[in-house]
Structure 1
Amino acid sequence: MCGRFAVTLPPDAMAQLFGAAPANDLPEAPNFNVCPTTQIHVVRSGDTGRQLVSMRWGFLPHWYKSPTDGPLLINARAETIAQKPAFRTACRERRCLIPATGFYEWTKDAQGNRLPWYIHPADNAPLVMAGVWQIWDKGETRTTSCAIVTTGANRPMSDIHHRMPVVLRPEDCGKWLGEEGPGAATLMRAAPDDFLAFHRVDTAVNSNRASGPDLIEPV
């Protein structure tokens, strides 16, 4: 899964990187501890081209009566996304890119203590995670929400966790967004074994209130 991540690129750099027009209400960056239910940076494709917008991380199915009416859907499994009622339409029609610098996962020691790891591209290039999005509209409340698509972990990552985000290469972004015709399903696979690097970080990140660049430094 992916339950926390970091983003260090400023919004104008993200907009330039993806050739997207930036919205006016983007979250602040850098953010070294991006948590579920907060607003995150998302790239989507529309009639006027790509847009860099803000979305709630935590997908809201149309039948939810409130944002807390059901499970918190921060991830969508690649293996079942096309069949699950919550995601199947978004998977076909509303795919997006979720920029990041890296993400966190946890292991446990013999005493059950949670040990955080920071995972990032081995070449330190920006990380692009596949996502799906939709608009949840209940009366006067209108929320655009999203989820990160995950798949089974590659061999190195499996030592930390059995799941990982679907990571997109720059040349795959247009296909995932639907700008290059069909074939997005072929992208829902684990990254190559040499694509990611990882290291232990301080347990300070175990708190969702922690912040600052020290969170991603090796310990």
Structure 2
Amino acid sequence: MCGRFVLTMPVDEMARLFDAVPSNDLPPAPNYNICPTTAITTVTSDGGQRRLRAMRWGFLPNWYTSQADGPLLINARAETIADKPAFRSACRTRRCLIPASGFYEWTKGADGARLPWYICRPDGAPLAFAGIWQDWTPNDGGDPLSTCAIVTTAANAAMSAIHHRMPVILTGADWPLWLGEAGTGAARLMRPGPEDALRMTRVGTAVNSNRATGHALIAPLTN
């Protein structure tokens, strides 16, 4: 799964990288501890026009009567996404990219303690997670809320040493297909990345708190 991630790119850099027009309500960056239910930056495409859009991280199916009406859907499994009632329409017609600089995963120590790892590209280049999205309208007739989930797949051999799942990470060449700009066949993109595509570094336990902030969260552990 992917339950926390990092985004350090400023808006203008993301706009250039994804050739997208930014909305004016994007969450601030850098953010070294992005948590579920908060607003995150996504990339969508409408008729070939890409936009950077803020969305709630936590997909809300249209039958939810409130944001807390059912399980918190922050991830969607690639293996079942096309069949799950919550996701099947979005995976066909509402796919997005979720920019990231890296993400966190945890292992357990001998004493049961949660040991965090920061996972990013070896060269520090940005990541683009595969995502799906949906606008959800509350029953009270309030304004629609754009919501999203990160698509995950089985971990490759390198990542499986830490966790059995990982985000689907898309290269720039894959973005048009995933966003629906290059025809059909996006399902083939939902696979683990190359073994050498990510670097995994143990970091301090400060990030175990969802209130922790700052660059020090991704600093390698030095003991």
Deviation of 1:48 after TM superposition, in Å, equals 6.2
Q: Is this contact kept in 1: 2:47–2:181, CA < 8 A?
A: no
Unaligned runs of 5+ in 2: none
For 1:84, the aligned partner's letter is K
Verify: 1:184 aligned to 2:186, yes or no: yes
**Residue 141 of structure 1: how far off its partner (Å):** 3.7
Q: Give the structure 1 partner of residue 114 of structure 2.
A: 114
Instruction: List structure 1 segments (4+ residues) > 6 angstroms apart after TM superposition.
Output: none
CA deviation string 1:145-172 (max 9, x = no partner)? 0000000000010000000000001100
Q: Deviations over 1:107-163 (max 9, x none)?
A: 001110000000001221101100000000121142100000000000010000000
Aligned residues: 219
Shift of 1:183: 1.2
TM score, norm. by length of structure 1: 0.99
The answer to whether the Cα contact below 8 Å between 2:116 and 2:207 also exists between their aligned partners in 1 is yes
In 1, the alpha carbon distance for the partners of 2:43 and 2:143 equals 22
Tell me the TM-score normalized by structure 2: 0.97
Equivalences for 1:54-93 in 2 at 5 Å? 54-93=54-93
In 2, the alpha carbon distance for the partners of 1:48 and 1:131 equals 17
What CA distance in whole angstroms lies between the structure 2 residues aligned with 1:67 and 1:81? Answer: 21
Look up the match of 2:206.
204
State the match for 2:104 in structure 1. 104
Query: Secondary structure at 1:97's aligned position in 2?
Result: strand
Sequence identity percentage: 65
Aligned to 1:150: 152
For residue 218 of structure 1, report the CA deviation from its aligned partner: 0.2
CA contact (8 A) 2:48 2:181 kept: no
